[in-house]
Amino acid sequence: MKQRLLFLGPPGAGKGTQADRLCKKNNLLHLSTGDLLRSEVQAGTDLGQKAQTIMSKGGLVSDELVLSIVKNKLIGLDSGWLLDGFPRNVFQAQALEDLLVQVDQPIQLVVFLKIDDGLLIQRLLARGRDDDNEEVIRHRLEVYKNMTAPLVDHYRGKGLLKAISGSGTIDEISNRIQEILE
């Protein structure tokens, strides 16, 4: 099975949910930049304080902060990994590629979870995290369309992307992902 994966998709597509399951089952390190940033916020670090205001409005935290977190986790790692919610823009994707060349661990597969806006909004409102209110969700979707969606073509062009539908039950989506990982 592929050991170096990236999950791409809009907020609420199920990236975090599926990444968590897959990593537990296959012993991969789950690297969610959203979770890592929320831990910094909770711990009240300088980085967390800088990130909090941006996250509560649904914007993207600075590339510099996010990259420093990811680099610390990836360098020296000897297990497989799954990147969830990172990269979020072309600059982060390029920086990631440079880093992965350095550590000689190229991405093996990018899984793109496709899903309609209506379903995303419904799911996120039902979750009700601090940044899950309708105004902030709509802004996160705009940011996704402008900044993150171009990565779909970026990875498709490299022959790394496989798209699956993100609608259906959590088990159905896990099965779809399992099929493309074999």
Interface positions with ligand B4P (CB under 6 A): 11-17, 33-34, 37, 54-55, 58-61, 66, 85-86, 88, 92, 123-124, 127, 140, 169-170, 173
Among residues 12 and 112, whose Cβ is nearest to ligand B4P?
12
Among residues 13 and 111, whose Cβ is nearest to ligand B4P?
13
Q: How far apart are CA 98 and CA 90, in angstroms?
A: 12
Nearest to 32 by CA among 81, 89, 104: 81
Among residues 54 and 152, whose Cβ is nearest to ligand B4P?
54
**Token output for 79:** 């297990």
Q: How far apart are CA 104 and CA 102, in angstroms?
A: 6
CA angle 160, 163, 169 (to 5 degrees): 140
Least Å distance, CB 103 to ligand B4P, is 19
Least Å distance, CB 82 to ligand B4P, is 12
Least Å distance, CB 126 to ligand B4P, is 6
Among residues 16 and 80, whose Cβ is nearest to ligand B4P?
16
Among residues 78 and 82, whose Cβ is nearest to ligand B4P?
82
88 Cβ contact partners less than 8 Å away, ≥ 6 residues apart? 33, 60, 66, 147, 148
Least Å distance, CB 159 to ligand B4P, is 23
Backbone φ and ψ of 106, nearest 5° = -65, 155
- Is residue 73 helix, strand or coil? helix
Least Å distance, CB 161 to ligand B4P, is 17
Least Å distance, CB 141 to ligand B4P, is 10
Among residues 58 and 155, whose Cβ is nearest to ligand B4P?
58
- Is residue 50 helix, strand or coil? helix
Q: How far apart are CA 176 and CA 173, in angstroms?
A: 5
